Amino acid sequence: MLGEGRRRACCAVLLILSASCGSQPDPAPVLDPPHAALVLIIDVSAQYSVEEIARIDKAIGLAADQLGSDDDFAVLAFDAHPRWVLPFGRPRRERPAPGLLERSEEKIRPDIPSALAEGIQGFRSDPHAETAGRKGCILISTGDSTGGVPETLLEGATKEGITVSTVCTSSKGTFDAVAMSQIASFGLGRFYFTPSPQKVPQLVANESRKFLGK
């Protein structure tokens, strides 16, 4: 016969073995990645030619191609005033039609701070975009603008989880790469420069993939 101490030890072992043979806890559910929201903010001022605007327009479709069906996408054009040419909305179109951008005929400098303010407000105005796990803007411009670099606006946006990357392009030699670089820096985004608007679509597609973590 087993002693009392050994009997208790054997009972404890049996209890442990019995518990280990029971049902296992359900595995943690695999969560879908949070949806993203992206806004292209595009300078359509008279600083660009009609042909250059047409080349930049191709960036819209390439950026949209990087997004998933549950992601949000919008396009804001600007000169001295911003205007939505493709607002946020559900359901999202698979691919925007070409030709959304029209060159402005006003011979005045564009206003980048106003455009950024409107683009950032766009996230707050759309319930689905506001709850996105990734929120970002890509600003495309010469950088030659009224109003300077809106540091306070950009720092406020980053606190809301909104990043701002910039693509500075100009074939005429009139540009402000320093301002565009600073906007990207304060917006916790990336800065790109090319003298050829023809290269803008691929740069925007590459930045869209990086924004999405691809």
Residue range 7-16, pLDDT digits in tens: 554 444 444 4
How are the residues of the chain apportioned to helix, strand and coil, as percentages rounded to the nearest 5? 40, 20, 40
Let me know: does 154 contact 180? Beta carbons within 8 Å.
Answer: no
Q: Which residues are paired to 191 by β-bridges?
A: 166
Query: What rounded mean pLDDT belongs to the chain?
Result: 87
Distances 110 to 81, 115, 162 between C-alpha atoms, Å? 7, 9, 22
Query: 92-116 pLDDT, tens per residue?
Result: 666 888 899 999 998 889 999 999 9
pTM, 2 dp: 0.84
Quickly list H helices, 40-168. Answer: 50-65, 112-125, 127-130, 151-159
**Domains of the chain, earliest start first:** 36-211 (3.40.50.410)
